[in-house]
Chain A
Amino acid sequence: MTEERLDVEMTVNGVPRGARVPARRLLSDFLRHDLGLTGTHVGCEHGVCGCCTVLLDGEPVRSCLMFAVGAAGHAVTTVEGLAAPGGSPSPVQRAFAECHALQCGFCTPGFLCTVTALLRDRPRPTDDEVMAGISGNLCRCTGYQNIVKAVHRASELMAEAE
């Protein structure tokens, strides 16, 4: 029983990366275990919790609901790639820390990726847009209060930076 392996190459956080993996390797496991980018977390492996959310060509997707081979040739951004090239945290990352929008931090990378895409599309979101935007990510620690605040704060920080 030898399982076929495929060469899977993609751009991750701006860097070409690749590994030889079975077709069934989930993108989440590929990022974490084949590429060592453990910032992307796995909370349910059935697409509900949102911890594993990454950006695929800029759009947020569940990396546990994709095979790595399906992302071949695409550009993936993980939490490790959200900071500016110099390493200074992005407005969303700063806002989450500033607003105490995380406790255990396990769901946080998924929220950060989701919110990054949300604010790119809606730089000044309404309360309803924030709610809809983060509605697919579970957090068991914060009760979401400060996450909502952080989204608005990140929006402010982005506006200030312009």
Chain B
Amino acid sequence: MKPPPFAYRAPRTLDEALAALAEYGADAKVLAGGQSLIPLLNMRLAAPAVIVDINRIGALDTVFVDATGVRIGALARQRRVERATDAARVQPLIGQALRHIAHPVIRVRGTVVGSLAHADPAAELPVVLAVLGGSVEVASAAGGRRAIPAAEFFAGALEPALRPGELAVGAFFPALGPRAGTAFAETARRHGDYGLAGVAAVVALDDDLRVAAARIGCLGVAATPFVLDLTDVLGHRPPDSCDWSAAAEHAKRAVRPEADIHAGGDYRRHLIGVLTERTLRAAAAAARDGVIDD
């Protein structure tokens, strides 16, 4: 289990990185945190001709927080974002999900943007980005920069909508709106494993503290993050009188997860129901608590 040989480039600037990616195109693979890529290399399941290591590009190690949301650079490690209290205030769902990613030691190296760009259907962060309607910012030597909405970015399992030569340089997670709350839950076999199924929920209340919007994102149930708007199912009622289990039933009916060695499709669908109800309730409670705190 040793990685195959590759040519190695370690650019110091973004321009150098983009130039390298432009030069090698599909032959190149970007190395950021390496917590997903290097296992694949060690098992020789991937054998890129060139590795472009972006770890020396300090300018990408950024976390910007403002009222609109959290903008995370390609080199920001998950552990750093997890500990960023300002980011948690503006968008708590990021931190709630980060705690479910593997183990602290993995998060020390793993990057937020790298996890998005890996586009694993069982991963937490793609679902967070999708349910929040965030975007991934990409850059290339030829095409400059563009922002790809989450709904388009996750094109398939392990298939980000990146063109050869493009680098995901950052991600934008929109801020939580007023009177809104979030929750994240997943069921994993062991602590730190990929979830068998997981749900990220965002619930916003209106001025009368009735449900104004409710969305969930599901992991582990499709090739890409599965987002579902449950606002109408819940019917603009105060959380206390919402039929959460009806929403859960709705979510369950909406997903068609496949079986793998760890769980069958029926069980995964059942979990989506259970976790939908749990996270919706928790998100609504957080929304209301936020209002009361204010």
Q: Do chains A and B touch in the complex (CB under 8 A)?
A: yes
Interface of A toward B, CB cutoff 8 Å = 3-4, 6, 22-24, 26, 29, 45-47, 50, 53, 56, 59-62, 64-67, 69-70, 114, 132-133, 135-137
Report yes or no: B43 in contact with A53, Cβ–Cβ below 8 A.
no
Q: Which B residue's beta carbon lies closest to that of A50?
A: B105
- A/B interface sample: 24 pairs, CB < 8 A: A4-B7, A24-B3, A26-B42, A45-B1, A45-B2, A46-B1, A50-B105, A59-B108, A60-B104, A60-B105, A60-B108, A61-B105, A61-B109, A62-B35, A65-B34, A65-B39, A66-B109, A67-B34, A67-B53, A69-B8, A135-B191, A136-B102, A136-B103, A136-B105
Q: How far is the CA of A136 from the CA of B192 in the complex (A)?
A: 8
Report Cα–Cα, A4/B105, bound state, in Å: 31
Tell me the bound Cα distance from A65 to B103 in angstroms: 14
Task: Please name all residues of chain A whose beta carbon is closer than 8 Å to the beta carbon of B53 when the two chains form the complex.
Answer: 67, 69-70
Contact A53 B38, beta carbon cutoff 8 Å:
no
Residue numbers in B under 8 Å from A67 (CB-CB): 8, 31, 34, 38, 53
Main SS class of interface, A? mixed
Can you list the 3 inter-chain pairs with the closest CB atoms, starting with the nearest?
Answer: A136-B103, A23-B8, A46-B39
Question: Known pairs A66-B34, A135-B104. 15 more at Cβ < 8 A?
Answer: A23-B51, A24-B6, A24-B8, A24-B41, A26-B3, A26-B38, A29-B2, A46-B39, A53-B105, A61-B105, A62-B106, A65-B34, A65-B38, A67-B38, A70-B34
Q: Would you call B55 an interface residue if the criterion is a C-beta within 8 Å of the partner chain's C-beta atoms?
A: yes
Contact A47 B3 (CB under 8 A): no
Q: Are A114 and B42 in contact (CB under 8 A)?
A: no
Contact B10 A69 (CB under 8 A): yes
**Distance (whole angstroms) from the CB of B98 to the closest CB of chain A:** 13
- Interface centre among B5, B6, B41, B103, by most chain A C-beta atoms within 10 angstroms, is B103
B5 near A24 with CB under 8 A, answer yes
Q: Do A23 and B108 touch (CB < 8 A)?
A: no
Residues of B within 8 A of A (CB): 1-8, 10, 31, 34-35, 38-39, 41-43, 51, 53, 55, 79, 102-106, 108-109, 191-192
- Chain B, residue nearest A65 (CB): B38
Closest beta carbon of chain A to B159's beta carbon, Å: 22
- Across the interface, which residues of B come within 8 angstroms of A69, CB to CB? 8, 10, 53
Interchain CA distance A59-B58 in the complex, whole Å: 18
User: Quick check: B7 and A62 within 8 Å, CB to CB?
Assistant: no
The residue in chain A whose Cβ has the minimal distance to the Cβ of B108 is A59
Contacts of B109 in A (CB 8 A): 61-62, 65-66
| Chain A residues, Cβ within 8 Å of B104 | 60, 132-133, 135-136
For the complex, give the distance between the alpha carbons of A133 and B191 in Å: 12
The distance in angstroms between the C-alpha atoms of A67 and B56, with both chains bound, is 13
Shortest CB-to-CB span from A65 to chain B, Å, is 5
Residues of B within 8 A of A70 (CB): 31, 34, 53, 55
CB distance from A143 to the nearest CB of B (A): 15
Residue in B3, B41, B103 whose CB lies within 8 Å of A135: B103
